[in-house]
Amino acid sequence: MSVPRDYDVNPRRFALGSRSPAARALYVRLAERLRPFARVLDVGCGDGNLRAESPQVVGLDGSMTMLRAHPAPRVMGEAAALPFRDGCFDAVTAVNMLYHLPDPLLAIREARRVLRPGGLFVAVTRSRADSPELAEVWRPAATTFDAEEAPALVGEVFERVEVESWDAPLVTLGDRAAVRDYLVTRFVEPADAGERASRVRTPLTLTKRGAYVYGSS
Ligand SMILES: C[S@@+](CC[C@H](N)C(=O)[O-])C[C@H]1O[C@@H](n2cnc3c(N)ncnc32)[C@H](O)[C@@H]1O
């Protein structure tokens, strides 16, 4: 199932999770890979996490709330119908966003259309086996673009696919309030999240699992 888009009605949920040191490390690593590319489109750019590390990024997002917080250049738009001509970007990224689409292939095909020949597509997403230490109180729901299926989906559009996975104890939740907030970022209602957090022993270190999936032709 696709993940709901609540960025205009509940921006706080996203904000609770997006500024952690582990999250920042993800963008720093991606920015390193993007360094040789002059024209980079970040589809589903949010409020600018990648742009903070990659100054050449043009942001595109379907949420006005998110886009307002993203530095220019930025464009309001839909991942499945990009408002750009063919071949005008050297790289296109889609970081933690393709799981919002009922059919992510529509957006991956659009990314390929706006890429120049030999350009790089990068999708980042998480695994269904993320944060196993929370298993007694919460499990991630399957989405339309989990790390388990992402390489095959990208491979339907691009000839070459490269996967770089992570599977490491990257996040420590210091107390129950931190566990509650983490669960809220993963769409658990706040009251329910508080109750579930009360059953968890803290501090709790979480194993984060996900992947960068690179596509090129
Ligand atoms: C989890 S946030 C990630 C934001 C950013 N990529 C980051 O990593 O910080 C997902 C973003 O994708 C945007 N989004 C979701 N579906 C979209 C679509 N179909 N077209 C454009 N933007 C979309 C949302 O508005 C939101 O800003």
Tell me the per-residue pLDDT of 65-115, one tens digit each, with 9 for 90 and over: 999 999 999 999 999 999 999 999 999 999 999 999 999 999 999 999 999
The pLDDT of residue 148: 98
The pLDDT of residue 15: 86
Nearest CA to ligand 1 atom 13: 44
58 Cβ neighbours under 8 A, 6+ residues apart:
39, 40, 41, 42, 73, 74, 75, 89
Q: Which of 49, 117, 122 is nearest to 89 (CA)?
A: 117
Ligand 1 proximity of 101 Cβ (cutoff 6 Å): yes
Higher-confidence residue of 15 and 55: namely 55
Ligand 1 proximity of 26 Cβ (cutoff 6 Å): no
User: Could you give the CA distance from residue 167 to residue 190 in angstroms, rounded to a whole number?
Assistant: 27
pTM, two decimals, is: 0.96
Q: What is the DSSP string of 32-58?
A: HHHTT-SSEEEET-TTTTTTTT-TTEE
Task: Sketch out the chain's domains with CATH numbers.
Answer: 11-131+139-169+209-216 (3.40.50.150)
How many beta carbons lie within 10 A of that of residue 102, not counting itself?
9
Ligand 1 proximity of 61 Cβ (cutoff 6 Å): yes
pLDDT in tens, 120-142: 999 999 999 999 999 999 999 99
